[in-house]
């Protein structure tokens, strides 16, 4: 299975950096996410995670270091987290580390909302 790599950018729209590794199961999503077509951008990420679960069936660590995302993105993040929750419930090993600026109270609230929403153990790591 191939890795998924997308280089982020901060231009008219903000593309997050994506680095999903099929060998290690470490999936990093960082930078800022504000896209012209959110659903289109996140579709390959969601497909990759689903393929990894089906084909590799190994441990998966999602590392999020987003400093900004819009509400449209927040819906796509929920889609990914829901897939991970299903994987965990079916016996998969899932770790989620969410790094956030300790001064960004709104971001911390967002993470808490995802924890309530999904029932996942998301490790909140302030920086």
Partner 1 sequence: MNYSKQVNILDYHSSFDQDTRISYKGPIDEKILQAIGTYIEGVLNKNQKASKKVFKIFIELAQNISYYSAEKNTMKNNKEIGVGMVIISEAEDTYNFMTGNLVKNDDIVSIIEKSEIINSLDREELREYKREQRKLPHSQKGGANIGLIQVALTSSHPLDIEVIPVDDDLSFFSIAVKIDK
Q: Which DSSP letter does residue 12 get?
A: S
CB nearer to partner 1: give 90 or 103: 103
The answer to whether residues 14 and 31 touch, using CB atoms and an 8 Å cutoff, is: yes
Closest separation between CB of residue 8 and partner 1, Å? 16
Rounded to whole angstroms, how far apart are CA atoms 107 and 84? 21
33 is an interface residue for partner 1 by CB under 8 A? no
Q: Is 2 in the site for partner 1 (CB under 8 A)?
A: no
At 112, list the tokens: 């808490």
Q: CB-wise, 19 or 72, nearer to partner 1?
A: 72
Residues that bind partner 1 (rule: CB under 8 A) add up to a total of: 23
Tell me: does residue 115 bind partner 1 (CB under 8 A): no
Yes or no: say if 16 and 32 are a contact pair by the CB < 8 Å rule: yes
How far is the C-alpha of 1 from the C-alpha of 32, rounded, in Å? 27
Applying CB under 8 A, the residues found at the interface with partner 1 are 11-13, 34, 36-40, 68, 70-72, 74-75, 78, 103-104, 106, 109, 113, 116-117
């Amino acid at each position: 299975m191939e890795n998924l790599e997308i280089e982020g950018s901060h231009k008219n729209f903000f593309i997050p950096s994506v680095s999903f590794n099929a060998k290690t199961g470490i999936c990093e999503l960082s930078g800022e996410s504000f896209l012209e077509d959110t659903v289109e951008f996140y579709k390959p990420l969601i497909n990759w995670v689903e393929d990894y679960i089906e084909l590799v069936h190994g441990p998966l660590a999602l590392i999020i270091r987003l400093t900004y995302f819009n509400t449209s993105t927040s819906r796509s993040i929920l889609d990914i987290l829901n897939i991970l929750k299903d994987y965990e419930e079916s016996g998969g090993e899932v770790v989620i580390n969410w790094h956030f600026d300790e001064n960004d109270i709104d971001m911390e609230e967002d993470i808490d909302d995802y924890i309530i929403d999904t029932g996942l153990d998301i490790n909140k790591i302030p920086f």
